[in-house]
C-alpha cells in the first residue's frame, strides 16, 4: 500500500476540509489553474491557427516552392519560358513529401472599362491547377474551367471587381505589351468574369487575375509545352527549407528554386513573432498558477500542522509527509486542468464552428475571423507540462515541513 497516497486521499475526501480555513484558498488556486490553462489553450490555438492560415494563403497564390528559369529577372512576370518536359513533372518522384506540381505563367496587363482602368498580373493556369485551396475564397460565381478548349473565363478578386464596377457575368477588355515593347500595338483580350474571390490578402487580391494559360502562351509566342514557372506544394510545411534544397539539387542547372519564406520573408518574420507571444503567455500563466498553488500548499500545511507532528512522532520521514501534500496539490491541479480544458476547448470549438470573434482590422491579419487550430498532442503536452512545472514549484515550499518539530506541532492550535 502507498501510505502517502492513502493519507492524501483521506484528506481529499474528508468533509472537514470543505468548511476549513483553506477552502476558499483552494478554490482560488483551482480557479487560477483553470483560467491559466484556458488562456494558454486560446493563445496556442489562435496563434498556430493564424500562422497556418497566413501560410496557406501565401502558398495558395505561389505554391510552397517555385521552380523557374535561372536568370536575373526579379519581377513577377514570366519572361523566359521553361519546358514542360521535365523529369519532375507532373509527378516529382525523386523527392518525398511533395503533394502536387503545377505549371503556371504570369504576364502584366491593364484592364480597361468605359469608366476606369486597373493594372493587373494575369496568372495563366491550366488543367493541372489545384483549385481546392481557392474554393473557400469564392464569394460569388464559380471557379473557371480550363480543362477543355481555350476559353475566356477569368477569376477576379472582390477588390478589383469593386474598383472596376464589375460583377459575375460581365466582360472586360485587357491589354498586354508585346515582348515588353511599348511602341508595338498591344495584345488585346476580352475576358468574361465567372467568379469573384476574396482571400483577405490585399497584396495578392489587388494584383492577380486568373486566366487560361494558353492565352499567355499565344501572346508570348510560346509553344504549347512552354510555361513560366512550376509551383510545388509540400505535404509538411515544416520541411520547407529541407525540401527546397533537395529540389534544387534534383533539377537542372538551368533552373532555380525559391521558397515562399525567402520570397515573402517579411511576412514570415512577422508571423514568427507569434511563437514568442505564445511562449510569453504560457510562462506568465504558469507563474501565476504556480504562485497560487504555493499559497494553497502553505495554507494546507499550516492547517495540518498537528497531523504533521503526529506523523513525525510515529516515525514518518520528512519526504514521506511532503509527498502527502504534493499528492494533494496534484489532485487540486488536476481539478483545475479539468475545468480549464473543458472551458477552453469548448470556446475554441465554438470559435472554429461559428467564427464568433472577428478581427477589428482584418486587413492587418489577412483574415476576417480569428482562426483556431486544435492539436491533440499539443494539448496533452501542455497539460503534462503545467502539471510537472507546478509540482516542481511546490517542492521548495513543501520543504517547510522539515522544520516542523513533533512536540511543537502536536501542541499547535
8 Å CB contact between 229 and 82: yes
Q: What cell was used for 159?
A: 477588390
**pLDDT at site 365:** 87
Of 46-50, 84-88, 405-409, the range with the lowest mean pLDDT is 405-409
> Which of 222, 252, 282 is the C-terminal boundary of a domain?
252
pLDDT in tens, 243-264: 999 999 999 989 999 999 999 9
8 Å CB contact between 365 and 41: no
8 Å CB contact between 136 and 147: no
Look up the domain containing 209 and give its range: 71-252
> Model's pTM, two decimal places?
0.88
Q: Are residues 52 and 75 in the same domain?
A: no
In angstroms, rounded to a whole number, what is the distance separating the alpha carbons of residues 133 and 56? 8
Q: Are residues 78 and 9 in the same domain?
A: no
> Which of 252, 276, 297 is the C-terminal boundary of a domain?
252
Q: Are residues 190 and 311 in the same domain?
A: no
Report the residue count for the chain: 413
Across the range 77-85, mean pLDDT stands at 92
pLDDT in tens, 305-330: 888 898 888 889 999 999 999 999 99
Q: With cut-offs at 50, 70 and 90, classify the pLDDT of residue 73.
A: confident
> Which of 252, 276, 294 is the C-terminal boundary of a domain?
252
Q: With cut-offs at 50, 70 and 90, classify the pLDDT of residue 17.
A: low
Q: Are residues 235 and 295 in the same domain?
A: no
Dihedral, 259, 265, 271, 272 alpha carbons, nearest 10: 90
Q: With cut-offs at 50, 70 and 90, classify the pLDDT of residue 177.
A: confident
**Bridge-partner residues for 369, per DSSP?**
358
Residue 180, pLDDT above cutoff 70: no
Q: Are residues 173 and 309 in the same domain?
A: no
Q: What cell was used for 317?
A: 520521514
In angstroms, rounded to a whole number, what is the distance separating the alpha carbons of residues 118 and 133? 26
Amino acid at each position: 500500500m502507498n501510505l502517502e497516497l492513502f493519507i492524501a486521499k483521506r484528506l481529499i475526501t474528508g468533509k472537514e476540509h470543505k468548511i476549513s480555513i483553506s477552502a476558499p484558498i483552494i478554490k482560488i488556486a483551482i480557479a487560477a489553474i483553470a483560467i491559466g490553462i484556458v488562456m494558454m489553450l486560446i493563445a496556442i490555438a489562435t496563434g498556430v491557427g493564424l500562422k497556418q492560415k497566413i501560410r496557406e494563403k501565401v502558398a495558395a497564390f505561389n505554391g510552397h516552392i517555385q521552380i523557374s528559369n535561372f536568370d536575373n529577372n526579379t519581377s513577377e512576370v514570366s519572361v523566359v519560358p521553361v519546358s514542360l518536359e521535365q523529369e519532375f513533372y507532373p509527378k516529382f518522384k525523386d523527392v518525398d513529401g511533395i503533394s502536387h506540381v503545377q505549371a503556371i505563367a504570369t504576364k502584366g496587363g491593364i484592364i480597361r472599362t468605359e469608366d476606369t482602368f486597373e493594372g493587373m498580373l494575369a496568372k495563366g493556369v491550366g488543367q493541372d491547377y489545384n483549385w481546392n485551396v481557392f474554393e473557400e475564397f469564392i464569394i460569388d460565381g464559380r471557379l473557371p474551367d480550363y480543362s477543355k478548349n481555350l476559353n475566356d473565363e477569368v477569376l477576379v478578386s472582390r477588390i478589383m471587381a469593386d474598383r472596376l464596377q464589375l460583377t459575375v457575368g460581365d466582360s472586360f477588355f485587357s491589354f498586354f505589351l508585346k515582348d515588353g515593347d511599348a511602341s508595338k500595338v498591344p495584345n488585346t483580350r476580352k475576358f468574361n468574369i465567372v467568379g469573384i474571390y476574396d482571400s483577405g490578402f490585399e497584396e495578392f487580391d489587388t494584383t492577380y487575375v486568373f486566366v487560361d494559360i494558353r492565352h499567355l502562351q499565344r501572346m508570348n509566342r510560346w509553344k504549347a509545352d512552354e510555361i513560366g514557372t512550376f509551383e510545388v506544394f509540400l505535404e509538411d510545411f515544416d520541411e520547407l527549407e529541407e525540401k527546397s534544397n533537395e529540389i534544387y539539387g534534383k533539377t537542372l542547372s538551368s533552373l532555380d528554386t525559391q521558397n515562399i519564406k525567402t520570397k515573402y520573408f517579411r511576412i514570415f518574420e512577422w508571423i514568427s513573432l507569434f511563437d514568442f507571444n505564445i511562449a510569453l503567455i504560457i510562462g506568465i500563466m504558469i507563474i501565476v498558477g504556480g504562485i497560487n498553488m504555493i499559497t494553497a500548499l502553505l495554507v494546507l500545511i499550516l492547517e495540518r500542522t498537528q497531523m504533521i507532528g503526529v506523523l513525525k512522532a510515529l516515525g514518518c520521514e520528512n519526504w514521506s509527509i511532503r509527498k502527502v501534500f504534493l499528492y494533494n496539490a496534484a489532485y487540486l491541479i488536476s481539478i483545475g486542468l479539468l475545468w480549464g480544458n473543458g472551458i477552453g476547448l469548448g470556446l475554441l470549438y465554438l470559435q472554429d464552428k461559428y467564427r464568433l470573434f472577428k478581427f477589428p482590422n482584418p486587413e492587418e491579419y489577412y483574415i476576417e475571423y480569428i482562426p483556431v487550430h486544435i492539436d491533440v498532442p499539443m494539448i496533452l503536452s501542455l497539460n503534462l507540462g503545467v502539471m510537472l512545472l507546478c509540482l516542481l514549484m511546490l517542492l521548495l515550499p513543501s520543504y517547510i515541513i522539515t522544520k516542523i518539530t513533533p512536540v511543537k506541532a502536536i501542541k499547535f492550535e
